[in-house]
Every structure is written in C-alpha cells, then in structure tokens.
Amino acid sequence: MKKYILLLCAISFGLSGQNEVMTPQKLWELGRVSLDAVSPDGTSFVYGVTYYDTEANKGSRDLYLMSVKGGEAQKITDLPGGEYGAHFVGNDIAFNHAGQLHLYKMVDKTISALTDIEGGVSGAKALKMANGDIRIVFSKSFKNSKTSSDLYPDLPKAEFKVIDDLMYRHWDSWDDHEGSLVCFTDYKNSSATSFEVLIQDNQFESPVPPFGGSESYVISPDGKTVAYELKALKGKDFAEQTNSDIYLVDIETKITTNISTGMMGYDKNPQFSPDGSKIAWLSMATNGYESDVNDLIVMDIKSGSKTHVLKTLNKYDELTFQSFAWANQNEIVAGVPIGGSNHLFEVEYKKGKLELERISQGDYNYNHFEIAKGGYVVERQDMNNATEIFFLQENGKASPLTSVNKAIYDNLKKSKVEKRMVKTSDGKDMLTWVIYPPDFDPNKKYPTLLYCQGGPQSQVSQFYSFRWNFQLMAAQGYIVVAPNRRGLPGFGREWNEAISKDWGGQAMRDYLSAIDAVSAEPYSDENNLGCIGASYGGYSVYMLAGIHEGRFKSFISHCGLFDLESWYLSTEEMFFANYDLGGPFWEEKNAETYSKFDPKDYVQNWDTPMLVIHGGNDFRVPINQGIEAFQAAKLRGIPARFLYFPNEGHWILSPQNGLVWHDQFFNWLDTYLK
C-alpha cells in the first residue's frame, strides 16, 4: 500500500478524540445503514447495518429492530455473511440468508429456515395466509440454453463460447446460460423443499436483468395473485428495447394477464393496495429511453381502468417518480428527485380529486421509506453524513432514529456545502453545489475540482458516495464544484432530455460555466483546477480535455467513453446508445454526434496530465475505452497513468481496491494541483 494510505492510517488512529477530517479509511469504517421494513401495526421497524473488514476484503450485514419512537436497537441476527430483504410476517420477521428464507420469531427469539430448496432462492417474500400457512414468492435461476459441455461433452477442458445473438454479456458478467424466474412455495410445518414456477416460458427472465430484484414482483394481500415485471424479449430485441410489462398470475390456475399491454417503455415495481383492489406501478412511455419520465400508474383491478398520476395532475413536464408506497386505499407516498435533492410527496384523492403535496424539506436526500404510525420511517443522507434512519412526521418534521456513525462524525470537521445558482452560456440558472474544505479560510487559495456527473441522467443530489465522496475530497484541501448540468432530473423534463443527442454540446458549456464562476472567486486557485468524473462523467473529462482551453491542470477519468464509434460496437444495452447518440455511426443522420461530440477527435488538443481508471469486467463501457485514452495521452507525450482493476466492473466494490482507488486518486491530484 502507498505511503499516502499509511500516513492517513496514522492520522486516523493518532488523533482519536480530536477534531479530524474524513479519510479513505474512515469511509470504510462507517456502518452502512439501510432500512428494510416497518411492522404491520406501524410501531417498529427492522433495518440492517453493513460493516466492512478491509483485511478480509468483505462485508457483513446484520439486522436490528427498533421502535419508531426511537430508543435502544435490538440486534436480531449475527450470522456469518449477511441478512437481506427483511420483512414482517405477522409479528415475526423473515429474511434472506445464505440462499434460503429464514424466520426470526419474536416470542422466543429463535431463527429457523422456512425454505430448504436445492440451489437456493433469491429475494424471497413471505405472507401469512388465512389458514396459518406461509406463502413464499421468490426468484430462482434455471438453465435456459446449452453450455459448452452440452455442445462438446467429450472435450471437458475446452474453454470457449458460441455466440449467435446480442446480450452475450451484460454490465459485468457474460451470459452463463441461466435466467431467473418467479416461483412460489408454501411453508406448513417444516422447511419447504418443493416449489412451483409461475412463469412457464424460461426463455424470458423475471426479475429483469441486470439490476432487477425483489421489487420486480409482489404477492397480493390475500396471497392468491402475484404481480411481476417481465421483459418478453431476447437477444437483439432485448438489447434494443426497454419494453417491459406487468403481469398478473393466478397462483391456483396459472392464468396470466398482461395489464400494461400497449405501454411501450419500462413498467416496473408493482404494488397492490392494502385491500388488493388496486395495483400501482412505475411506467415510462418511450420504448428505448431508459431515463424517460417515470409516471405512476394506478389501476382498478376489477374494471381495468388506469390513472396516470403525473399526466392527471398536469405535472408530466415537471416531475418524475423514483419510488412509491401505499399509505392507504386512497393515498400513495412517492419519492421524487427535485431541485438537487430527493424528497417525499403525498398523492391522494380528496373529494374525488387527485392532489399532490410535498412532505419533506431541506437539502437532504430522503431515499427508501416505509409507512409507519403517524408518519414515515425513512433513510436520510447528505453530503456530510452517510445514511441514517429518521422518523418523518406528516408535517415534514424529521427526527433521527439511528446514530450508527455518531462516534466517527462527532470527531470530524464538516465541510460547508453551498447551494449556488450559476448562469449558463444560454442564460439559464443552474444549481451548482460547492463543497468547501473544513476550516475554510476565504483569505486563502484552494485548488478546485470540477466534478462531472455520470448517467448521463442522474441528479447531482445530496448523495453520500463511498467513492466519489465530496466530504472526503474537501477534507484533502480541495474545493469541489458539482453542477447539475443539462441532462439531469429534478429540474423538469426539458432540462433532463436536453442531453440526448447533444452529449458534447450544451452540457460541456454548462460545466465550463460552473468552473468559471467559482474559479473567479478570490479563494479559488484558478491556476490549479482539476476535472474528474466517471461513466458519462468520464466521457466529459475526455471531451473537456480537448476543449478546455488551458483551464485545467489535471484530469481523472474513470470508465469514461473515449471513442464513440468503437464504444457503440462493444457496449451491450443498445437502446441506450441508440437513444442518446441517435443510433449507429454509419447512419448519415448521426454524423454530427460522431464527428462533433467524439472525444477521440480532439486528442490533438490534449496537453494536460491524465489519470485513466478502468475495470476489466466493465461491459457497459468496455476496457478498450480506457486503454485507448491512456495510449493516446502517452503517444502525445502527456503525463498519464492507467489504473486497471481486472476483476471490477463499472464500479469499485472491493474494500481493498477501494483504498487503492482513493490512494491513486489523491496522489495524482496532489502531484499536479498542489
């Protein structure tokens, strides 16, 4: 490990009890808190805390139980590995562990397995039936195509793949000839070992890969019906389209009905109303556009009539939903990105009229939430604090329930976070976060970093990242400038959609407007400006390297797109490339995108040191993009370094790799900006 990390370790342990600053090691010491569920009576909740052991290079998650009024938490699991997806089954708590569903019994505090299914289950959900049985819905992997050993059983040591169609790899993994299907079983008196599959055609998958999980399916309150999301497409069609649908299947008869026929974008996250008479889900209208407005659809199951909430409220051009939960038969609470933060809104029928009212306030991200007695139990974070769980009253007042990381934060100097409006080159107001070092002195000059957001449509909110951590960057003596440039949600549909087919246009001018505004301040060292980002943010770094006109003294690009033509022919989800770039480079209508907005075509202007970071298992932005950028810089005679993680994908997930990442990141910045 580098001297930089060893020094930070000495600082971390040597100043215990004094005012300290955030370090990479402290980030990994933080407990990562996440909410699971609230009890049926709304008076208690279960949550998990994950701690990472950097020496063992892995983490473990345990479950805790607490009253919504606060008080001492009760630890209910301490098993090796981790426990996930906890939810209440009557008064008891079910959770997933080691590939099976388990039950924690409140009366005697014992844990027993509800399932013992060969090969294991994923994302299991349980419901107590009227007869006392426990019905369990889950997903399970099944073989869906021939493997190499099937094709050549007499050549067991041969290593190869025969590829006939697209989607042969996805995000960070190759096609393994298996797919997930939704299944169910009933627990009676002993662990369930048999099950039934609810999706009969195993050529399609549910949950929808690569990120679909237990939110993709749900069981009705009476236990008789399951709703699930399915993208009934394969190969090239799957790669080019986003059209998924919501299906209802009768568990007894297996009769299946598509309830979103004709709705051509993503339809996901189905949830039944408390009495089961209605079902709601999130829906995008445009096939092939993964960042479209998420409307909330509410359907009366008996009549089939649907209400499109945002369109009914005339808010379709202003807002988008990212999550929701039923509060009662006529009220839904929804998570909405707005104005640089994530907040909760109430959607309610009042006197037959649909109304929308904001609940939470402030510069915080209110993320996953559950309905509780008298309010909501919700995860909250901001740029100076990792997630803790709060109780949010219906009037918007929030009070903390957990304080897992209090001991660490009590000894940390916090950063000042400023919410600043910057005028863009076309006269728009752009919200830009400016994060200052602890003990900021306006009479000093500080090196300043422009942060370029990925996505591209992903709001720069009050998020707390364990890699792109603004608190950590500021603690090392940098001012961080994080603009909500064109192409981000939370500022209306027009602002969000402005990025598509204009990747290297107005968004780049927005970046430059932000850094120019802050670097003009007397406390910003305009001679020591850096530019950093990942994914589309990494693309932005490469693009700005060719057009920045001497502003920056250092660049860092993680998993950035460098050559749009070669990227188009090596990425996997073609709907993203087709919508955002306009389609393939050989079509004349897309000529401007590939000639005007392709970073490789500006390499002749590169003149600034660059650190390139890439993962070997990144199939969204394949490794050749990083290799080509690094090689171009070296051939240009520019100081450059290539940081390669062979077993990481689009993100850095391993604790020890994460420490190396931060060590290289700050060493590079310190070399060229201080």
Catalytic residues: 535, 618, 650
SS (H, E, C) 302-342: CCCCEEEHHHHCCCCCCCCCCEEEEEECCEEEEEEEECCEE
Amino acid at the residue 298: V
Angle at 410 between CA 409 and CA 415, to 5 degrees: 60
- Neighbouring residues of 253: CB distance < 8 A, sequence distance ≥ 6: none
Residue 597: which of 512, 513, 503, 457 has the closest Cα? 503
Q: How far apart are CA 259 and CA 235, in angstroms?
A: 24
Whether the upstream peptide bond of residue 456 has omega within 30° of 0, thus cis, is yes
Residue 171: which of 627, 646, 623, 617 has the closest Cα? 617
* Helix (H) or strand (E) run with residue 538 in it: helix 536-547
Q: How far apart are CA 597 and CA 599, in angstroms?
A: 6
Question: Residue 282: helix, strand or coil by DSSP?
Answer: strand
Residue 508: which of 426, 394, 400 has the closest Cα? 426
Q: What is the dihedral of CA 562, 568, 573, 578, to 10 degrees?
A: 110
Q: How far apart are CA 594 and CA 580, in angstroms?
A: 12
Token look-up 């990141």 returns 665
Q: How far apart are CA 623 and CA 602, in angstroms?
A: 20
Alpha helices in 186-262 (DSSP H): 235-240
- Neighbouring residues of 176: CB distance < 8 A, sequence distance ≥ 6: none
- Neighbouring residues of 451: CB distance < 8 A, sequence distance ≥ 6: 460, 468, 470, 480, 481, 482, 483, 532, 533, 537
- 224: which DSSP letter? S
E strand intervals along 484-620 = 524-534, 554-558, 610-615
